[in-house]
Every structure is written in C-alpha cells, then in structure tokens.
Amino acid sequence: MRRIVFIGLGDVEIVRRVLSDLLLNPALHGTLEIRLHDSDPGLLATAEALAGSLDAEAGAGSRVSACPDLRRALDGAEFVVANIDVGGFEATLKDFEIPHRYGLRQTIGDTIGIGGIFRGLRSIPVFVELAREMARLCPDAWLLSCSDPMAMTGMAVRLGTGFPRFAGMCHAVCDTHIYLADMVGRAVSEIDFLTAGLNHQSFVLRFEAEGRDLYPELEAALADDLSHVRVEIYRTFGFFPTQSSEHAAEYVPWIMRHSGETARLGVQVEEYLRRSGQNLHRYEETRRALASGRSLLIRWQHQEPVAAALQAMLTGERGEVYVNVPNTGLIANLPPEACVEVPADVDAAGIHPREVGELPIQLVALNRTFLNVVELTVRAVLDEDPRHVLHAALVDPNTAATLPLPAIQALCGELIAAHRHLLPEALAR
C-alpha cells in the first residue's frame, strides 16, 4: 500500500478536503495507507475518526491509523502532508493583540508582517526537524507543505537541511485563475495562464486565449472597480496578484497605516482572527457530525493542489500544479536561496518545476521586499541570532511604515516574551 502521512491536524477542513479528493478516486481504492500524527491527542482522535468515516463512505478500503509518535508515523512514508500551526489559535491571538496595543494593524499576518515573522520563528524549527527526520526515516518521500509561512519554511528546509523533496502548495494561484476566468466569461480550461513569484505574492504573467491577451478584457470588466487592493496593485504594477486584497495590503507600506485607505479599499483589519474562529467552529461542527453519523465526504469541489499532486504521483496521470520550491534557476532574477512559486508538471516520477525566466523588474522589486523579511527570519533561527528578529521587523513594509524604531524594539521584545515557550532557546533569551 502507498503510505501517506498527515502531520498537523488542527485545520480539519484541509484534512477533509484532501482526503475526500483522494478517497473518491476509484484508481486509488485499496491502495492507500493513511497515517495521522499530531501532538494534541484530541485533534489526533478527531482526525482518525474523520478519516475512517470518509474512507467508509467512499468505499475506498484504505488502512487508517493514528500515530502519536512522529518517528513511527514517518517510517517508510512515501508522502508527508504537513499543515503545522505551532501554538494554534492562542499564539495567533497574541500575534494580533500585542501589536494592536502598539497601534500596528494587520489583516492576515501569517506570512509577512510582525505576525508572519513570529509564526515563522515558531514554525521553522519544526519544519527543519521534520525534514531531518524524513532524511533519516523516509529519504525518498516528498514533504508537501500546506503551512504558512511557506516561503520561510521552504527556504529554511533547503538551507538548514538540504532535504531535496520539499514542495509547498497553496490554493491562491488556482483561486485567482478561476476568478480571472470568471471575470472575462471563460472556462479556466480555455485560458493559457502563467503565474509566478513568491507564495502569497505571485503575479499572472500570461493571461491569454487563442493567442490573444485577455488583460484588455479584464480591464473592461474591472472598469467600475475602484475599491480593491489587488485591483489597484494590478493597475499600478501591470500584472494581477494572486493574493486577496486583505493580505496584499500587508505587503506594501502605503495602506495599513492609513485608516482612510483601509476604509476606501474595504480592507478588513484583523480578518485572520475571524477566519481562525471559523476554523475552530468547523472543528466543533465536524466532531458533532461524526458523533451523529452525518456525511462529511465532499463530492463536488475544485481540487486541492496537494491532492492533485498526490493523485498524479500515485496514479501516474500527468497533471499541472503550482508549487513552492527552491529556486534552482526557475526565476532567473530572484536569489537562488529563495523558495519560489512556479508551475510544475507532476507524474509518477515526482514533481518537475518549470523554468519561468525573468520576472518584470517592478514585480521583482516587490518580491525582494518580501524576501528581505523572509531571509532575516530564517537566518534568525538557523544562525541562532536574535538580532535578526528585530532586523526582519525593521524591513517589514507595514511594521516599518507604522512604528518608530523604539516601538518596534519594544514590540519584538514583548512578542518574544509572550511566545518564549514556543521559540528556539537561542531566540527566547
């Protein structure tokens, strides 16, 4: 049987969507061993019950087991799907509440911004250790990450371990392609897309049908849209961004500090807290559904990228998935140490990223601003250098635009103290 390990089970909806896609594929029936691991016994028990229920409903004949011991879970794995949120909702709440007292506003705060930095500081050590254990116990397996901050953990795995089979997978590119196709009244399958950049900051470089550029049609469709961040970024920089308006606002210095701009552009401040609350609600709903025997199998949906990649590798049916992987010449004018988002062909032999070439210089400039925060956060952990925590905050667009140096120093100190039990010892002093 083909062994797939799920690490991190707090987002029950991701587990449900990925397993539904896999278990509904008749070609995979009777072939899968699904191992589940989480340090939280309650999450682990719920995920085991969910996986068993989905498998039974799909008639997939999979072997499902809960593994409290990480090393036992990894032993002999072919694929490891990681969706890790170190500290969970309580840590996220601190990432928002403490900066809020300093007057620093965030929307999502999971990839960039002060929230993204501290999520990275918590997550990077876990991913580095996971990659090291995989190199020992299942060296030929793929580490498929659904976790934020993806650009940070991907860079850290490469620089900290050299583990070669890392691919981060995010639905933002797929969702953006669906949105743009809908805006010009076409099916996604009719359009030739090329999108690339960094996770949560990629851009649609090619948007064509029958060899004709569709951007003029998009511009006509957006003629009356004056109030969305991603539309404003598209009109200013020339290419449509893949991230939501709420999140895109955090990557530039001219929006979040101005209440008039967040109001004009409809930016929902502290939006991620609402989403995190919804995730907690979904978890409780799932537990109730399992207790009452209600159906949880998702039969109709667009496929999760990680599920699409798994199915292509398991069945050998070639597919395309957007992945976040080390920049081995894939984007020529971004640094080689970066973890970049590009299209990839996927088949039984694995994941094969495509070279994109050079990005337009204005997009590279935006990516480099993001990469400054990413690299300094990664180096803080790998070099055990707490100075780089402050350095990352000082070059972060939103934090630096909003607060003076003494406030940023105090904020970093308070967040380090609040998260001390979740940080590497060298950074928690």
Q: Is 308 helix (H, G, I), strand (E, B) or coil?
A: helix
Rg (the chain; Cα; Å): 21
CB 173 within 8 A of CB 186: no
For 426, phi and psi rounded to 5 degrees? -65, -25
- Nearest C-alpha neighbor of 75 from the set 141, 147, 8: 141
Report which DSSP code applies to 236. Answer: H
Paired with 198 in beta bridges are 201
The span from the CA of 80 to the CA of 402, in Å, is 39
Alpha carbons 142 and 78: distance in angstroms, whole number: 6
Question: How far is Cα of residue 4 from the mean position of the Cα atoms in its chain?
Answer: 19
CA distance 14 to 22: 12
Is 228 tagged catalytic?
Answer: no
Largest CA distance in the chain: 60
Q: Where are the beta strands (DSSP E) in 56-179?
A: 63-66, 79-82, 142-145, 166-168
Catalytic residue chosen out of the listed positions 29, 100, 171, 258: 171
Query: Is 200 among the annotated ligand-binding positions?
Result: yes
Residue ranges for the known binding site for Mn(2+) are 170, 200
Known catalytic residues are 171
